[in-house]
Amino acid sequence: MSQTIEAPRTPARANRSSGTNWEKWGWIYMRASGVLLIVLIFGHLFMNLMVGDGVSAIDFAFVGGKWSDPFWQVWDGLMLWLALIHGGNGMRTLVNDYAHSRGMRGTLKIAILVAVVVLLVLGTLVIFTFDPCPAGSPADLLPSICKGL
């Protein structure tokens, strides 16, 4: 039994000739964010896995220490935003290429948008409001790095 698969680049809608070409800007964004992500992701892996004691040094205090430094907060925030929008836009492309019905395409793209927005809000809050030693917490629930603070 053979099955014919439609050419993956078949557009879901006819191209419009006027106005902003969002598909072009999406295409450029995928390449530009890809280049930045190479630097951010490999920098992240290098600092976490190779510098100092490497992977065995990663624990709650390691993460708490990194997120008390604005440099790593911005680094991780950029990684989060660039990768999530890159991944969401890439999934949008796949849905446009492979989902057959208009209703299914709309549903899947709304689900992707909701997932991206929820993860961006939660991730950004975690990175920028993280407090390893929240005031007023019971001492037995706090990590050892909080002793004496």
Residues forming the site for ligand HEM (CB under 6 A): 30-31, 34, 37-38, 41, 83, 86-87, 90-91, 93-94
CA-CA distance, 127 to 66, in Å (whole number)? 10
Residue with smaller CB distance to ligand HEM, 93 or 124: 93
Q: Are 113 and 87 in contact (CB under 8 A)?
A: no
CA-CA distance, 49 to 52, in Å (whole number)? 8
Q: DSSP string covering 26-72, please?
A: HHHHHHHHHHHHHHHHHHHHHHHHTSTTGGGG-SHHHHHHHTTSHHH
113: nearest Cα among 94, 89, 78: 89
CA-CA distance, 117 to 85, in Å (whole number)? 9
Residue with smaller CB distance to ligand HEM, 50 or 139: 50
78: nearest Cα among 37, 38, 35, 115: 37
Q: Are 144 and 100 in contact (CB under 8 A)?
A: no
Minimum CB separation of residue 86 from ligand HEM in Å reads 5
Minimum CB separation of residue 41 from ligand HEM in Å reads 5
Residue with smaller CB distance to ligand HEM, 57 or 104: 104
Minimum CB separation of residue 15 from ligand HEM in Å reads 17
Residue with smaller CB distance to ligand HEM, 86 or 142: 86
Minimum CB separation of residue 124 from ligand HEM in Å reads 16
Residue with smaller CB distance to ligand HEM, 32 or 125: 32
Minimum CB separation of residue 73 from ligand HEM in Å reads 19
